[in-house]
Amino acid sequence: MDPQELIRDADKKASVTSGGFLSSFFGSSSLERYEEATDLYTQAANMYKVQKNYSKAGDAFVKAAACQKKAENANDNANCLIDAFKCFKQSNADLEKAIQCLEEAIQVFLLQGQFRRAANFEMDLAELYETMDDLARAAHAYEQAGDWFAGDSAQALANKAYLKCADFKALLGEYQPAIKMYGIIIENSLGNNLSKWSLKDYFLKVVLCNMAQEDIVGAQNSLNKFLADDGSFESTREYKLAVDIVEAFQQGDSQLFTDKVYEYDQFSKLDKIKTQLLVNIKKLIAADEDDLT
């Protein structure tokens, strides 16, 4: 059968809201029609998916979701919205539709108290923003997911979301919010054998954020605090790099800075976040050198 024909049949069923006194009295007719319409919309959506027409498949699932909302089936409404999201995200032209569907579904899960499920889909939303290079909205979504995971006692998942948020804040030049977020992750990781090995990386990122906003005192205070939190930090390459960066900055020596970064990178490859922060810091040192000449 042509999916368009299924859509037309479903539209007719969905448009009828009442079947007379008896059906209203027993309260079944309109609900049955919404269920029948949902089935037809879903069949049409699946046929469109087979044809790889994901935009029309998504539209059909949205109509199915609307029927389930009218029938007051919150969970099925949300599930149809999730199906629509999965279709819309297949097409760059429909990404905003995908976002809208997912946001609506998340709100349903929240109202039902399904915070873990809401958090999982908020992570999907953040990842979609990430593919769109919308780091600001991605950072917000990751933070929101982290809060919901934390509220559901899923600390490891919360840390994962918070780390993505902190990294994007750092890339956006929002250094103080990034430092605050790294601080939350550090507090959650101290004393945790599963995440303690990552502390040195978080410590270094905080110091780099301090330096990127020309806060030498903040960087030194951070180093002192981290040594107090975890004495083993002093023996790491990350600590040595942090100290060397502060020294090069204080001396206004871009060559010393470059040498120390190169030395570190020979043994521990720099990731995107730290590389960008180091580039920003080097620009500050170079600008100071230019001012002196």
- 63-110 tens-digit pLDDT: 999 999 999 999 999 999 999 999 999 988 999 999 999 999 999 999
- 156-173 tens-digit pLDDT: 999 999 999 999 999 999
Q: What CATH number corresponds to the domain at position 81?
A: 1.25.40.10
In this predicted structure, the answer to whether residue 246 has a pLDDT above a threshold of 60 is: yes
87 in the same domain as 62: yes
Angle 90-92-98 (CA atoms, 0-180°, nearest 5)? Answer: 65
Locate tokens 């290079």: which residue?
133
183 in the same domain as 86: no
Total domains in the chain come to 3
Q: Tell me the C-alpha to C-alpha distance, in Å, between residue 224 and each of 216, 245, 264.
A: 12, 15, 21
What is the rounded distance in angstroms from the CA atom of residue 159 to the CA atom of residue 281? 26
119 in the same domain as 103: no
Query: Which range of residues forms the domain containing residue 31?
Result: 1-109
138 in the same domain as 22: no
Q: What is the pLDDT of residue 191?
A: 85
In this predicted structure, the answer to whether residue 202 has a pLDDT above a threshold of 60 is: yes
The model's pTM is 0.90
In this predicted structure, the answer to whether residue 41 has a pLDDT above a threshold of 90 is: yes
33 in the same domain as 74: yes
199 in the same domain as 128: no
Percent of the chain with pLDDT over 70: 94
255 in the same domain as 139: no
118 in the same domain as 185: no
Token representation of residue 8: 């037309």
Count Cβ atoms within 10 A of the Cβ of residue 21 and give its class: 0-12 exposed, 13-18 middle, 19 or more buried: exposed
Token representation of residue 247: 């020294």
146 in the same domain as 177: no
Q: What is the pLDDT of residue 292?
A: 52
What 3-state DSSP class applies to 59? helix
Give phi and psi for 268, each to the nearest 5: -130, 105
What is the average pLDDT score of the chain?
93
Could you tell me if 210 and 179 are in contact, meaning their C-beta atoms sit under 8 angstroms apart? yes
29 in the same domain as 81: yes
Q: Tell me the C-alpha to C-alpha distance, in Å, between residue 287 and each of 55, 143, 220, 221.
A: 50, 34, 22, 25
